[in-house]
Amino acid sequence: MDDLIFALKDVYFSYLGKFPALRGIDLEIKKGQKVSVIGANGSGKSTLLQILDGLIFADKGEIGFRGRKLNEKIFYDPGFSRDFRRRVGFVFQNPDVQLFCPTVKEDIVFGPLQLGLEKNEIVKRLEKLVEGLGIGALLERQPHQLSVGEKRKVAIASTLIIEPEVLILDEPTAGIDPLTTRHIIDLLIEENLAGSTIITSTHDLHIVEEMSDVVYVFGMDKKIVKSGPAEDILNDTALLSANNLVHIHSHKHMGKVHAHPHLHIEHHNNPG
Amino acid sequence: MGALSFLKDSVFAEEYAAGGGFLQSLDPRVKAITFLLFIIQVLFARSIPALFFLYGLCLFLALVSRINLGFFLKRTWVFIPLFALFIAIPALFSTFSPGEGLATWDILGTKLTITRQGLAAAVTFIMRVAASVSFAVLLTITTRHIELLKVLRIFKIPQVFVMTLGMCYRYIYLFVSMIEDTYRAIKSRVGVLVHYKSGQNIVAWNIAFLWSRSLKLNEEVYRAMLSRGYEGEARVLDEFKTQVKDWLWLFSVAALYLIILWMT
Ligand SMILES: Nc1ncnc2c1ncn2[C@@H]1O[C@H](COP(=O)(O)OP(=O)(O)OP(=O)(O)O)[C@@H](O)[C@H]1O
Ligand SMILES: [Mg+2]
């Protein structure tokens, strides 16, 4: 049980008391695991991730973090709060939300500064990340003037610089071009190999296999429909199409229009 | 919408704060103190030449801080009438400032006379507002928003107040951006030829909705700050450092203050 990072038992959450977003979630996340959460729009993925990051709190049920119960009160303790924020990093689905400083550079160093890291160390990490993500040219720009993909890269950098043990990413590759997606995934896998726990939500099925030891599929009823290793989930076409995760694709083949279910992964599993 | 973008640009532009002019290179604390001195002097100055001198000084400082003078004038003169007009205009007339008549109108049976004293009072007043607003604006555009908040903290303004101010600032920014986006969205759905009047109507209808949406976004931004370890007081990378230049500047401003005080 030592290596259990998160343990959720029968967690319920609703917005403003009337819009249910999670209905009885049970899950366990172990240290060093890659976990992904997939599901249709509005199935509760972002809500779950924000609960894991201690930003909102369940109406009912229990959330355990390394053997302690996460609730609003525990964050009043500055010692715990700082320790938690240092251990757990979160990349928001909407990068506009995450970037609030006047320049990109200030935004990236915001986290480590608040957490009281050494200046030299911060600068060192900054340089490394800037190079890895290729965002050197953006540093003095204003975050709200960037393109969606650039914003997302900056948002990811602003979280990675904290070097958290647990990385929670809400759709990290949405709106990002294929090559950059590749870079980000490589970066995350590197973090994982170094021991980080990585939790991602995504609609991007072709990153699921690489990004998950366990996949949780969220259903329209805001419950977990199925969980298991990536290959089991990705081969369950009926399940995927019932949850809006595959679409019917029309092609033109020699002048004729074909329509067939289309799995995103099919293209990407092939090398090259 | 043009007016809105202008307002947004002028209130939220941070590019000048990052620029490498004279004022930008000063320690924000020293800068804030000296600007406070300037504003106090402006508010208590009774001589018109002194006011003109201070206003000129302000424009000169803007110039050596590489601020586009056109931008600066536009930006300050947007606010000046707001403060000045409603208070100064009544003072022009004899009803409020009795004295020697310069010009007289007869409007609907009420006799309005501009008096010499009234005119002098109005010019003094407008110059006072113009100079103090200009100094305040110059301080805010040459200092980063976060640094400004930090200076407030150093002057022992309670943290709750500074935090609220920071939040309001962000909130208003989000709100204005959202109105802009919505306007653009309407334009894209209704077509470019949407009459600005009907566009405004739609915006007006949606204002309550926008309000709650930007409130929600503001809440999320706050969460994002929490998530990265924010504990109520933002830390900035470049700690403030006072250099010889800052002290020189401080002393020259203090000396100037005394000279003007003595001369008038
Ligand atoms: N601030 C809010 N107020 C009210 N209801 C909300 C709010 N945020 C989310 N919801 C509702 O909660 C449910 C779950 O939302 P959530 O954002 O967790 O979904 P998601 O799986 O992340 O969706 P997506 O794939 O679109 O990001 C949805 O039905 C949504 O309508
Ligand atoms: Mg989501």
Per-position DSSP letters for B69-133, written without gaps between them: HHHHHHHHHHHHHHHHHHHHHHHHBTTTS-S-EEEEEEETTEEEEEEHHHHHHHHHHHHHHHHHH
Query: What is the predicted pLDDT for the residue at A272?
Result: 36
pLDDT at A138 over 80: yes
Q: Do A114 and B231 touch (CB under 8 A)?
A: yes
**In Å, how far from its chain's centre is CA B92?**
25
Least confident of A81-90, A157-166, A234-243: A234-243
Tokens describing residue B217: 């976004």
Closest CA to B173 of A94, A102, A105: A102
In DSSP terms, B93 is beta-bridged to B114
Higher pLDDT, A32 or B4: A32
Query: What is the predicted pLDDT for the residue at B222?
Result: 83
Name the region of A17 (left: φ>0; alpha: ψ -120 to 50; beta: rest).
left
Domains of chain A: 4-263 (3.40.50.300)
Q: Do A109 and B237 touch (CB under 8 A)?
A: yes
Closest CA to A156 of A101, A84, A95, A86: A95
Q: Do A113 and B235 touch (CB under 8 A)?
A: yes
Q: What average pLDDT values come out for chain B (264 residues) when binned by 10 residues?
A: 57 68 87 91 86 93 89 79 62 58 62 71 82 87 77 72 67 70 67 55 61 74 86 67 87 90 82
SS3 labels along A139-205: CCCCHHHCCHHHHHHHHHHHHHCCCCCEEEEECCCCCCCHHHHHHHHHHHHHHHHCCCEEEEECCCH
All residues at 6 or more sequence positions from B257 whose CB lies less than 8 Å from its CB, including other chains = B37, B41
pLDDT digits (tens, 9 = 90+) for A215-269: 999 999 999 999 999 988 988 888 888 888 876 555 555 656 555 555 544 444 4
Q: CA-to-CA distance for B160 and B144, rounded, in angstroms?
A: 20
pLDDT band at A38 (very low <50, low <70, confident <90, very high): very high
Tokens describing residue A40: 């249709």
At residue B209, what is the residue type? F
Instruction: Confirm if B178 and B1 have CB atoms less than 8 A apart.
Output: no
Say how many residues make up chain B: 264
Q: CA-to-CA distance for B138 and B72, rounded, in angstroms?
A: 8
DSSP string, A67-129: TEE--TGGGGSHHHHHHHHHHEEEE-SSHHHH--SSSHHHHHHHHHHHTT--HHHHHHHHHHH
Query: What is the predicted pLDDT for the residue at B83?
Result: 64
Query: What is the predicted pLDDT for the residue at B175?
Result: 72
pLDDT digits (tens, 9 = 90+) for A185-226: 998 999 999 999 999 999 888 899 899 999 999 999 999 999
Mutation target to probe the B interface, by most B beta carbons within 10 A, among A47, A106, A122, A167 is A106
Q: Say how many Å lie between the CA of residue B257 and the centre of ligand 2.
A: 58
Could you count the other beta carbons within 10 Å of the beta carbon of residue B18?
16
For chain A, list residues whose CB is within 8 angstroms of any CB belonging to chain B.
50, 53, 55-56, 78, 81-82, 85-86, 89-90, 92, 94, 96-98, 100-103, 105-106, 109-111, 113-116, 119, 122, 140, 142, 144, 158-159, 162
Q: CA-to-CA distance for B101 and B143, rounded, in angstroms?
A: 46
**For chain A, how are helix, strand and coil distributed in percent, rounded to 5?**
40, 30, 30
**In Å, how far from its chain's centre is CA A150?**
17
pLDDT at A1 over 60: no
First CA to last CA across chain A, in angstroms?
Answer: 41
Instruction: Confirm if B226 and A56 have CB atoms less than 8 A apart.
Output: no
Cα-based distances in Å from A108 to A104, A130, A163, B129? 6, 10, 12, 39
Query: What is the predicted pLDDT for the residue at A218?
Result: 95
Q: Half-sphere exposure of residue B263, counting CA atoms within 13 Å on the CB side?
A: 14
Query: What is the predicted pLDDT for the residue at A35?
Result: 96
All residues at 6 or more sequence positions from B41 whose CB lies less than 8 Å from its CB, including other chains = B54, B257, B260, B261
Tokens describing residue B4: 């809105």
In DSSP terms, A247 is beta-bridged to A262
Instruction: Confirm if A61 and A7 have CB atoms less than 8 A apart.
Output: no
